[in-house]
Structure 1
Amino acid sequence: MKFVFLGLSLSSSWGNGHATTYRALLHALSKQHDVLFLERDQPWYAKNRDMPQPGFCELKLYSHLSDLEEHRAEIAAADAVIIGSYVPDGAAVTTYIEDWVRGTYCFYDIDTPVTLSRLQSGERDYVSRETIPLFDLYLSFAGGPTLERLKTEFGARASAVLFCSVDETSYFPMPVSRQWDLGYLGTYSADRQPALERLLLEPARRLPEKRFVVAGPQYPLEIKWPENVERIEHLPPAEHASFYNAQGWTLNITRADMVAAGYSPSVRLFEASACNTPIITDPWPGLDTIFKPQEEIVVASTAEAVVAALLMPEEGRRRLGAAGRSRCLASHTANHRAAELVAAIEASQFADPARLSYVTER
């Protein structure tokens, strides 16, 4: 099959989690299919490109909406055209190229709970209520009840879950020395900060002999970090695996919209577990469908629960990390997601004759 993706970024992971998601998925997809990724050229990504030329697919940049005319033939020849969330002027892009698309037209929402909240408030920048029905298939980062909501409340013609994943050839156990007892990787977010305070900074104050780390950009200067908390401003994806391997435990914190929707695992869960690093996470609906709580992952709502995990005997810590890795490799690799994507597209094309006719005519 021929795929054309129009996504936020593949070339730069600076300040976004989309690049790592696309890199894992497209690397796996390109083993059997042709993939072209079209990316809007943005100055903040141009200054921080950690993958200017991916070796697994074709990457082309465009500066303006009209520049997409140069790729009209490629879009028309594609078996599937997939527009991602947070693409600049994404709603306009959707309508601009709609008549060119002959294959399955998809929206890939890497931010589904956030998107639905924005739609309810009337925002319509990267997707709108008017453009959702134009897609043959809405691919969602959130599963569970959200899939039905997309159809009944927002007019999606068909919906399917497509979680993030991990490339297990890049994330695996490494023989590195432990530098931190607990670490967190994530860009600053106001709605996550109270949980970071409760689940990392407070445990750091209570366990001054332990070492902690927070990696990610855009944290306000006024935050008072405990002395035993190290700060790393930006960590490129090439260093993520060694970062997880150097932690005794890693912390996952979920954004408020994703907690409310549930069934929205972060890519950090799969990256860390693939490295055999045990995870402490805040609770959210559907978590037990991804990992078994307290057996493959530790669920914590309080500083006391985090402290208890950090004081767990080493044998228990290792057993939990190994169980998490086993679950990840069995269900959540990029190869799994690539196969799920192809299956979802095929199901969308052939399950409904009216939809197939619509795709063929277009």
Structure 2
Amino acid sequence: MTDRLEIVFLGLSLSSSWGNGHATTFRGLLKGLHELGHNVTFIERDVPWYANHRDLRDPDFCTLRYYQSTHELQRDHARCLEEADVVVVGSFVPEGRTVIDVVASICKGRFCFYDIDTPVTLAKLSADDCDYLSWRQIPYFDVYFSFAGGPILDRLVTEFGARCAEPLYCSVDPERHHQTDDPIRWDLGYLGTYSADRQETLDALLLQPALRMPDRHFVVAGSQFPSDISWPDNVERIEHLPPADHAAFYSQQRYTLNVTRRSMIAAGWSPSVRLFEAAACGTAIISDRWPGLDSFFPASTIHTAAKPDDVIEILAEVSERTRLATARQARARVLQAHTGAARAQQFVASLERSRAADPGLVVGSAA
């Protein structure tokens, strides 16, 4: 049985979910680790963008610390990093390459990387355009945790030199994401920060159906959408939706739309956290199609669409009985396998496998 671990994460942000999906991912994982009895510290760069939009200032499941420079990180947090059983650096950390070198010089326990953007990272590395991870640093890590599974795990080892690559997908917190008593307001909704490579699909699978179904109600929630987008009159816009409001938002939709970034589609096996959140709230899902989707959501648990007609047919033809049955099956699957508690168990199990492969370092030495 694993002893209590002292675990330190350095990630993009835990305190603010504004304009990033990292915060909710870390929150679920860290809460799960706390519930397993481990001591967790999260250290993030104190930057104005997140400082001005913090929606989690004092978490009860971990210690939250800040630093303003890599020099300050080394000066003020060295002891915490040195005494940890496990240190995990996340993707997109500001000055990440320097941070990794600093931590590598201090860390005496397991050293891991958590790539919440794996397909993007590998594309950046191949183009020599990654400022948060260097190719030479990948072999530093005892475990390279990846948001994407499938063939990309083999690529991490064979092409990029990872010593051990393990999937650690996003997850959902059932206490925050559950069905509410709010009445249905929208036939189809979408939640996500603007991304240029998702916009074409959002246009095809939501805006065009909205134009062709003027008697139906649609909603798009998320920040950073350009001001020149022409929204149909029956599409409501919500600029930012904090995590505390996600459950009510999903519960007020008959269907929610999942749109995947091109790099994630190309890699496959890269589920969005929005899939798990919506399913946990009992909302039926319409998703674009990508390799590996059925390993998370079999056909009986989800609808897929490739063009406007597909969405229109689902909204107009699928019975309420079928919609609700599909949503129930998706919810049961997510609550069984895709919660923060499940991810925490997978995280610790991966560390145990890493220890077995390299018994020279001890995992779980903290008293």
TM-score, normalised by the number of residues in structure 1: 0.97
Shift of 1:352: 3.7
Matched AA of 2:303: V
Q: For residue 18 of structure 2, give the secondary structure of its aligned residue in structure 1.
A: coil
Q: Residue 29 in 1 paired to residue 33 in 2?
A: yes
Match of 1:174 in 2: 180
Match of 2:60 in 1: 55
Match of 1:192 in 2: 198
Match of 2:236 in 1: 230
Q: Residue 283 in 1 paired to residue 281 in 2?
A: no
Q: For residue 105 of structure 1, give the secondary structure of its aligned residue in structure 2.
A: strand
Match of 2:81 in 1: 75
- Give the superposed CA RMSD: 1.3
Q: Counterparts of 2:118 and 2:142 in 1: how far apart (Å)?
A: 17
Shift of 1:124: 3.1
**What does the per-residue CA deviation read over 1:195-236, in whole Å, with 9 as the maximum and x for residues that have no partner?**
000000011011111100000011111111110000001111
Q: Counterparts of 1:99 and 1:276 in 2: how far apart (Å)?
A: 47
Match of 2:141 in 1: 135
Shift of 1:349: 1.6
Q: Residue 308 in 1 paired to residue 324 in 2?
A: no
Q: Counterparts of 1:123 and 1:346 in 2: how far apart (Å)?
A: 33
Matched AA of 2:221: A
Match of 1:153 in 2: 159
**What does the per-residue CA deviation read over 1:142-177, in whole Å, with 9 as the maximum and x for residues that have no partner?**
000011100111111111000000011111111111
Q: For residue 160 of structure 1, give the secondary structure of its aligned residue in structure 2.
A: strand
Q: For residue 167 of structure 1, give the secondary structure of its aligned residue in structure 2.
A: coil
Q: Counterparts of 2:355 and 2:47 in 1: how far apart (Å)?
A: 34
Matched AA of 2:165: S
Q: For residue 95 of structure 1, give the secondary structure of its aligned residue in structure 2.
A: helix
Q: Counterparts of 1:228 and 1:269 in 2: how far apart (Å)?
A: 24
Match of 1:8 in 2: 12
Q: Counterparts of 1:241 and 1:104 in 2: how far apart (Å)?
A: 36
**What does the per-residue CA deviation read over 1:239-291, in whole Å, with 9 as the maximum and x for residues that have no partner?**
11110011110000000000000000000000000000010000000001001
**Runs (4+) off by over 3 Å:** 356-359
Write the mapping of 1:204-283 to structure 2, written as runs, cut at 5 A.
204-283=210-289
Q: Counterparts of 1:308 and 1:275 in 2: how far apart (Å)?
A: 23
Shift of 1:127: 0.5
Q: Residue 201 in 1 paired to residue 180 in 2?
A: no
Match of 1:333 in 2: 339
Matched AA of 2:351: I
Matched AA of 1:247: Q
Aligned length: 357
**What does the per-residue CA deviation read over 1:77-117, in whole Å, with 9 as the maximum and x for residues that have no partner?**
11110000000011110111212111110000000001001
Shift of 1:179: 1.0
Shift of 1:357: 5.7
Q: Counterparts of 1:134 and 1:41 in 2: how far apart (Å)?
A: 26
Match of 1:320 in 2: 326
Q: For residue 5 of structure 1, give the secondary structure of its aligned residue in structure 2.
A: strand
Q: Counterparts of 1:85 and 1:109 in 2: how far apart (Å)?
A: 5
Alpha-carbon distance change, 277 to 357 in structure 1, aligned in 2, over 3 angstroms: closer
Kept in 1, the 8 Å contact 2:355–2:362? The answer is no
Q: For residue 99 of structure 1, give the secondary structure of its aligned residue in structure 2.
A: helix
Shift of 1:64: 0.5
Match of 1:38 in 2: 43
Asked which structure has the greater RCO (Cα within 8 Å, sep 6+), the reply is: 2
Q: For residue 139 of structure 1, give the secondary structure of its aligned residue in structure 2.
A: strand
Q: For residue 195 of structure 2, give the secondary structure of its aligned residue in structure 1.
A: coil
- Structure 2, unmatched stretches of 5+, are none
Q: For residue 283 of structure 1, give the secondary structure of its aligned residue in structure 2.
A: coil
TM-score, normalised by the number of residues in structure 2: 0.95
Matched AA of 1:138: Y
State percent identity of aligned pairs. Answer: 53
Matched AA of 1:325: R
Q: Counterparts of 2:320 and 2:274 in 1: how far apart (Å)?
A: 22
Q: For residue 343 of structure 1, give the secondary structure of its aligned residue in structure 2.
A: helix
Q: For residue 264 of structure 1, give the secondary structure of its aligned residue in structure 2.
A: coil
Q: Counterparts of 1:154 and 1:262 in 2: how far apart (Å)?
A: 18
Q: For residue 136 of structure 2, give the secondary structure of its aligned residue in structure 1.
A: coil
Q: For residue 184 of structure 1, give the secondary structure of its aligned residue in structure 2.
A: strand
